[in-house]
Amino acid sequence: MIDRLFTHCMIRPGDIKPSSESMRVVGVLNPGGAAFGDGVALLIRVVEQPVETRSGFIASPRVDPEAGVVVDWLNESDYHAKDPRQVTHKHTGEARLRFLSYLKVVHSADGTKPDGFDGPVVWPSEPYESYGIEDPRITKIASTYYITYVAVSPQGIATGLLSTTDFETFRRHGLIFCPENKDVVLFPEKIVDNYAALHRPSGSMKFTPPQIWLARSPDLIHWGSHTQLLSADATDGEDRIGGGTPPIRTREGWLSIYHRSRKADRGDVAGEYCGYSLLLDLDNPLKVLGQSQEPIMAPSEPFEKEGFLGGVVFPTAIVERDEQLLVYYGAADECVGVTAFSREAVIESLVTKAV
């Protein structure tokens, strides 16, 4: 790992008021982030669970277009329930979440401390968002901030697109990657006449280990030219790999921090999540110029090692501050963390690939 210049637990569940008296906030995590005005705008994922519990049943909330938040009570005997995030029906394999997520704007003048928690909320509203919206990533293109996010519903895990110019009002552009696909991050400018994105196909058929792909688009809505970029090492116990921070332009190439997860002895629960550096060619982002062989950030702080799902650092945003890189991330699936690296140290972490 490389030295962190500082690390703060920036936002905790207790900082956010729940959406109603019947719900409680159990997580604030995986924030999108971007420089905005003289500070930083974050779009955090807020995770809520019902306050009520019932013996022998599992609460699974969802959003109904007419009734609002509805809680389905699932018979505990019908479901596998080792994972604190979701349950799976023993016969059909259908998954249901134990929580509901939405997005909330938080501003920070200095990039390390929140100014307050009264910012606007982006609430699930479409049929393909009925189980919640999660894990936003923000990319500024020209004067508009584009936000990819995960939409969860009975139709599966898909990727939607929002945009804003002021972090007060948001425009929905619909789904841009159909199920099952997530961890979509946009490049901040066109590359050879097309926009580009990294994405993570995550189908249920396990023909291959988890992978990161690259796709191209003329308009940010219609995507094609899908090509595999990176793959997890299943022989080494890796069970997840996916885009983390949207790429930023540097002299050396497109720089991003992505995540890998190594399966731990947790039964059906995902393994330890760490962040790795990645450098792609400016003109051909399918060309990997370098990547770190070891994590540049791994769970080390108490709030990263212990929480809703301990042992997780999940990088989702970079903001440049002179020669420093502020990195925002989800910690233990419970809190928002911010850390800083020197740009030079991150570049030096890269192992150059043969061209």
Q: For residue 289, which of 205, 213, 229 has the smallest C-alpha distance?
A: 229
Whether 300 has a pLDDT exceeding 60, the answer reads: yes
> b/e string for 326-347 if b means 16 or more Cβ within 10 A?
bbbbbbbbbbbbbbbbbbebbb
Query: What's the confidence (pLDDT) of residue 271?
Result: 81
Fill in the amino acid letter for 146. Answer: Y
Q: pLDDT digits over 185-214, tens only?
A: 999 999 999 999 999 998 766 778 889 999
Nearest C-alpha neighbor of 268 from the set 233, 239, 242: 239
Angle 245-248-254 from CA coordinates, rounded to 5°: 105
Strands 238-242, 95-97: pairing kind: unpaired
Higher pLDDT, 66 or 239: 66
Q: Please check whether residue 181 is in contact with residue 168, taking contact to mean a CB–CB distance below 8 angstroms.
A: no
Quick one: which of 275, 287, 281 has its CA closest to 245? 275
Q: Give the burial class of 39: count Cβ atoms within 10 A of its Cβ; 0-12 exposed, 13-18 middle, 19 or more buried.
A: middle
Give the model's pLDDT for residue 295: 95
Per DSSP, the three-state class of 167 is coil
Residue for token digits 């619909």?
A: 174
Whole-number Å distance between alpha carbons of 330 and 112: 14
pLDDT of residue 355: 45
Q: Comparing C-alpha atoms, which of 353, 352, 346 is closest to residue 318?
A: 346
The number of distinct structural domains making up the chain is: 1
- Give the number of other CB atoms < 10 A from CB of residue 225: 12
Is 1 among the domain residues? no
DSSP state at residue 127: G
Residues near 93 by Cβ (< 8 Å), separated by ≥ 6?
none
Residue 234 pLDDT class (50, 70, 90 cuts): low
Q: Are the C-beta atoms of residues 310 and 273 closer than 8 Å to each other?
A: no
Tokens of 311: 């042992």
d(CA 188, CA 144): 10
The residue ranking higher by pLDDT, 202 or 10, is: 10
**The dihedral of CA 301, 304, 305, 306: what is its sign?**
positive
Domain containing 137 — which CATH number?
A: 2.115.10.20
* Structural domain boundaries enclosing 286: 6-352
Q: How far apart are CA 258 and CA 230, in angstroms?
A: 11
8 A C-beta contact, residue 186 and residue 162: no
C-alpha to C-alpha distance for 312 and 310, rounded to whole angstroms: 6
Say if residue 237's pLDDT is above 80. Answer: no
Instruction: Encode pLDDT of 150-189 as tens digits.
Output: 999 999 999 999 999 999 999 999 999 999 999 999 999 9
Whether the pLDDT of residue 262 is over 50: the answer is yes
Q: Specify the higher pLDDT residue, 312 or 266.
A: 312
Question: Which of 274, 275, 296, 280 is closest to 344 using CA atoms?
Answer: 296
Tell me how far apart the alpha carbons of residues 156 and 216 are, in angstroms, rounded to a whole number. Answer: 23
- pLDDT, average across residues 140-145: 97
Q: Is 263 helix (H, G, I), strand (E, B) or coil?
A: coil
Q: Is residue 133 part of a domain?
A: yes
Question: CA–CA separation, 315 vs 328, rounded Å?
Answer: 6
